[in-house]
Amino acid sequence: MPVDGVIPADEVDVGDVIVLPGTDEAVLVRMVRLGHGRLIFTVTSASGESPEQEQAVMMTADVRMCRRGRDIAQ
């Protein structure tokens, strides 16, 4: 069941489908790590197009984004 909600960056887990701030495209979170005082997400297209094209996105913990496709309570 798809879930839409705004979440803080520090509550994102591997496997979440999210929409990054300033974009409309959903991405799949492949890896989350901490570096240089920021969270670094490795993401790929959630649509399955070009799954080999991963990108690293740095966020501070206070950035909020939209989560889709997973129950926020989990």
Give pTM, 2 decimals.
Answer: 0.70
H/E stretch holding 43 reads strand 38-45
Return the domain boundaries, the chain. 5-68
d(Cα 17, Cα 26) in Å, to the nearest integer? 6
Kindly state the tokens that stand for 50.
Answer: 């070009």
- Tell me: the pLDDT tens digits for 15-54? 988 888 788 888 999 999 888 778 888 999 888 776 678 9
3-state secondary structure of 63: coil
Overall CATH class of domain 5-68: mainly beta
